[in-house]
Amino acid sequence: MWNDLHKHFAKVKDRRFEAMVDADRAAAFSVQAGDMRLDYAKTNIDETGRELLLQLLDGSGVAAKRAAMFAGAPINETEGRAVLHTALRNLDGGPVLVDGQDVMPGVLDTLARMESFAADVREGRFTGQGGKITDVVNIGIGGSDLGPAMAVKALAPYHDGPRCHFVSNVDPADIAGVLRQCDPATTLVIVASKTFTTIETMTNARTAQAWMGQSVTDTGAQFVALSTAADKTADFGIDPSRVFGFADWVGGRYSLWGPIGLSLMIAIGPQAFRAFLRGAQAMDMHFKSASWLENMPAMLALVGIWHNQVCGYTTRAVLPYDNLLVRLPAYLQQLEMESNGKGVSMDGADLAEQSGPVVWGEPGTNGQHAFYQLIHQGTRVVPCEFLVAARGHEDDLHHQHQLLVANCLAQSEALMRGRTLDEARAKVADKFEGAELERQARHRVFKGNRPSVTIAYPQLTPEVLGQIIALYEHRVFVEGVVLGINSFDQWGVELGKELATALQPVVEGKKSAEGKDGSTAALVGFLQKHGVS
């Protein structure tokens, strides 16, 4: 099937797909899920290419693997675990079994505990030693930071709780900058580490503990742990009532729906958090029941496979024309690249096709004055994914929002249409002539024929944000199954962490750099000379 796809692309790669995009194609090459619309008409996928992609989907066993995931089977085969982040938002979907045990009572009990604690913080029943909590500092890294930091920013219009801050980098500038804004007596610190051993997180947690100890007598009283290591959280001084655990069938980058989302729940309230969960649950139900052609995660995945594995476009730009989604590209970068950045298939053999793409992006219209130059006129094709809301949250500035939407739609149109040399000549014919006219015109040519998809929705609400995140989670799942890889482990992060642990005493000057390669040893020497040790 891969060969058929590559052969088909070879036949159509030079055609102008702009001519294909009429009203019929706009209807046939779009998908609706609730009030959300995915338009992939501005791509070079035609009916033949789509049919070949659908055959690839069926031949890869996506339907069976999807059923196994929702049923609690251990589809994370390298770690022998189920993959059940969907259970965290299964508010009324019935039992979910893992090894014959229904996990939903535990999930719902933890959610209820989170809601009770969040309400106590928001309403002033849980206080710091200086009164009502005014600030929440979430300390985590990876999924324990990117998810809640992204969501708290995205749902800023719904904030009516304490201010939320996020610390992830072990660089001391990160935590120092955050703590400088807070009062220890009215600050709640959330430490997010499943094992309570993550070196960056625990280093920052101890720094926060020392900071708090300068002003309050009982530092543990204002700490919360999102962890399953009850012995370690107790040693840290955190009462069991403020420890919220989650099972090993929830991966870090998929964990926002449970205890890792506590900072979001405190910011927007339990009711809005449940709406967020229900939005994701709605996308789960759509993914489970819709036919492939009408299945938004599946079709978004197939578009990604067409562009990356078939066309050879190795990068993907995520461009939200919604400034509330400023952290979404970074969140999706981890989701995609940690999940599908693999080199071997489930059986350990080298992949026959390329794995996941490089994912990056920035909100519009900022990006238009930065990297869009390369997207429009550079030598590499960069498929783009636009996200846009029909309405913002600033009703008195709706005209300005209309300008934002116009910019979004114009960019996807410009990528498709481009500008011919004749059109470029006409634009500058009144200023130049002869050879100079030709030279100037060529600088204004846009090749066009550059693909994009657009995801449109009425307004960024908690429900819609839940839909968007779940959409991309299932997209990554489908891509991983088609490629034959495990999207739910991340062994690629281990080696650097192991080497860092070994290097720390060398950097500190407690051990010799003997045995290190020449480059590393020389760099250690340079940094020690300038004060690192």
What is the tens place of the pLDDT at every residue in 426-481? Answer: 999 999 999 999 999 999 999 999 999 999 999 999 999 999 999 999 999 999 99
Domain final residue pick, 274, 298, 331: 274
Residue 270 shares a structural domain with residue 288: no
Residue 44 shares a structural domain with residue 106: no
What is the percentage of the chain residues whose pLDDT exceeds 90? 96
Residue 318 shares a structural domain with residue 462: yes
Residue 208 shares a structural domain with residue 334: no
Residue 413 shares a structural domain with residue 522: no
Residue 28 shares a structural domain with residue 153: no
What is the percentage of the chain residues whose pLDDT exceeds 70? 100
- pLDDT band of residue 60 (cuts 50, 70, 90) is very high
Single out the residue of 223, 227, 284 nearest to residue 69, CA to CA: 284
Which residues participate in catalysis according to the annotation? Answer: 338, 369, 497
Number of domains in the chain: 4
CATH number at residue 307: 3.40.50.10490
What is the tens place of the pLDDT at every residue in 345-403? Answer: 999 999 999 999 999 999 999 999 999 999 999 999 999 999 999 999 999 999 999 99
Domain final residue pick, 258, 274, 290: 274
Q: Please spell the DSSP secondary structure of 456-507, one letter per residue.
A: EES---HHHHHHHHHHHHHHHHHHHHHHT--TT--GGGHHHHHHHHHHHHHH
- Averaged pLDDT of the chain: 96
Residue 292 shares a structural domain with residue 249: no
Asked if residue 204 belongs to a domain, the reply is: yes
Is the pLDDT confidence value at 77 over 90? Answer: yes
Exposure string for 273-287, b = 16+ CB within 10 A, e = fewer: bbbbbbbbbbbbebb
Asked if residue 85 belongs to a domain, the reply is: no
Pinpoint the alpha helices (H) of 269-420.
270-289, 296-305, 328-340, 372-377, 398-417
- pLDDT of amino acid 494: 85
Asked if residue 12 belongs to a domain, the reply is: yes
Residue 480 shares a structural domain with residue 362: yes
Amino acid residing at 186: T
Asked if residue 81 belongs to a domain, the reply is: no
303 vs 292: CA distance, rounded Å:
13
215 vs 193: CA distance, rounded Å:
25
204 vs 174: CA distance, rounded Å:
9
Residue 231 shares a structural domain with residue 150: yes
| β-bridge pairing 384-389 and 315-321 | parallel
What is the tens place of the pLDDT at every residue in 4-22? Answer: 999 999 999 999 999 999 9
Residue 38 shares a structural domain with residue 99: no
- pLDDT of amino acid 449: 97
Inter-CA distances, 24 with 39, 41, 452, 453, Å? 12, 10, 18, 17
85 vs 250: CA distance, rounded Å:
5
Task: List the Cα angle 183/189/193 in 5-degree steps.
Answer: 155
The predicted model gives 30-45 an average pLDDT of 98
What is the tens place of the pLDDT at every residue in 242-275? Answer: 999 999 999 999 999 999 999 999 999 999 999 9
- pLDDT of amino acid 331: 97
- pLDDT of amino acid 89: 97
Residue 19 shares a structural domain with residue 63: yes
What is the C-alpha R_g of the chain? 25
- pLDDT band of residue 92 (cuts 50, 70, 90) is confident
Site of tokens 């919360």: 224
Cβ–Cβ contacts within 10 Å for residue 180, how many?
8
Asked if residue 17 belongs to a domain, the reply is: yes
Length of the chain in residues, anyone? 533
What is the tens place of the pLDDT at every residue in 234-243? Answer: 999 999 999 9
- pLDDT band of residue 116 (cuts 50, 70, 90) is very high
Is the pLDDT confidence value at 224 over 90? Answer: yes
Asked if residue 88 belongs to a domain, the reply is: no
What is the tens place of the pLDDT at every residue in 149-176? Answer: 999 999 999 999 999 999 999 999 999 9
- pLDDT of amino acid 533: 82
Residue 326 shares a structural domain with residue 193: no
- pLDDT band of residue 306 (cuts 50, 70, 90) is very high
Query: Phi and psi dihedrals of 147, rounded to 5?
Result: -65, -60
The predicted model gives 404-424 an average pLDDT of 97
> First-to-last CA distance in the chain?
57
Asked if residue 87 belongs to a domain, the reply is: no
3-state secondary structure of 110: helix
Cβ 384 vs Cβ 317: under 8 Å: yes
440 vs 369: CA distance, rounded Å:
21
Domain hosting residue 506, numbered range:
501-533
Domain final residue pick, 256, 274, 292: 274
- pLDDT of amino acid 93: 78
Asked if residue 382 belongs to a domain, the reply is: yes
Is the pLDDT confidence value at 522 over 90? Answer: yes
212 vs 128: CA distance, rounded Å:
11
